[in-house]
């Protein structure tokens, strides 16, 4: 009976098992941080698009042409949100440091954001310039 009992008892975590547990916990914590960062990036992109839409609405309502006022950036961001990139945008997108996602590689915003660094996307947010 002693052998049978030993084989079926729950082993106490020790050495290697304890380390596996720690690594699993670290992985869960890292995944939560990644999810949080992705949510923040998604919110930043949505804020950028809302500000962009308001700006272009104001430009159009004033009767001015919005040609050359950043419409290309708006299209790039919108196609990124759709999980696709226009064929005309790869050089511009690479210039921004955003990996090019071909149209055939359709995916979700979350997948597109995971391929893009937060640093590059925050560079797209308009900043107030100080007078020199």
Give me the pLDDT at residue 14, please.
66
Report domain extents, the chain: 16-122
Question: Which band of pLDDT confidence, cut at 50, 70 and 90, is reported for residue 20?
Answer: confident
Give me the pLDDT at residue 68, please.
54
Long-range contacts of 10-13 (CB under 8 A, 24+ apart): none
- Which backbone phi and psi does 21 adopt, to 5 degrees? -60, -45
SS3 assignment, position 17: helix
The C-alpha atoms of residue 33 and residue 35 are separated, in whole angstroms, by: 5
Give me the pLDDT at residue 88, please.
41
Give me the pLDDT at residue 105, please.
47
The C-alpha atoms of residue 118 and residue 17 are separated, in whole angstroms, by: 35
The helix or strand, by DSSP H or E, that contains position 112, with its residue range, turns out to be: helix 109-114
What is the radius of gyration, based on Cα positions, of the chain?
24
Q: What is the pLDDT of residues 99-116, one digit of tens each?
A: 555 544 445 555 555 555
Mean pLDDT of 3-16: 62
Provide the whole-model pTM: 0.40
Q: What is the pLDDT of residues 44-88, one digit of tens each?
A: 777 877 777 777 777 677 776 655 555 555 666 666 655 544 444
């Amino acid at each position: 009976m002693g052998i049978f009992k030993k084989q079926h008892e729950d082993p106490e975590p020790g050495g290697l098992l304890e380390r596996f547990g720690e690594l699993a916990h670290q992985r869960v914590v890292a995944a939560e941080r990644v999810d949080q960062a992705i949510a923040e990036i998604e919110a930043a992109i949505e804020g950028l698009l809302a500000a962009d839409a308001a700006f272009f609405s104001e430009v159009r309502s004033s009767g001015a042409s919005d040609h050359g006022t950043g419409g290309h950036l708006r299209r790039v961001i919108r196609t990124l949100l759709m999980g696709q990139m226009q064929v005309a945008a790869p050089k511009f997108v690479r210039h921004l440091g955003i990996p090019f996602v071909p149209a055939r590689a359709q995916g979700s915003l979350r997948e597109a954001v995971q391929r893009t660094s937060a640093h590059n996307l925050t560079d797209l947010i308009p900043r107030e310039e100080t007078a020199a």
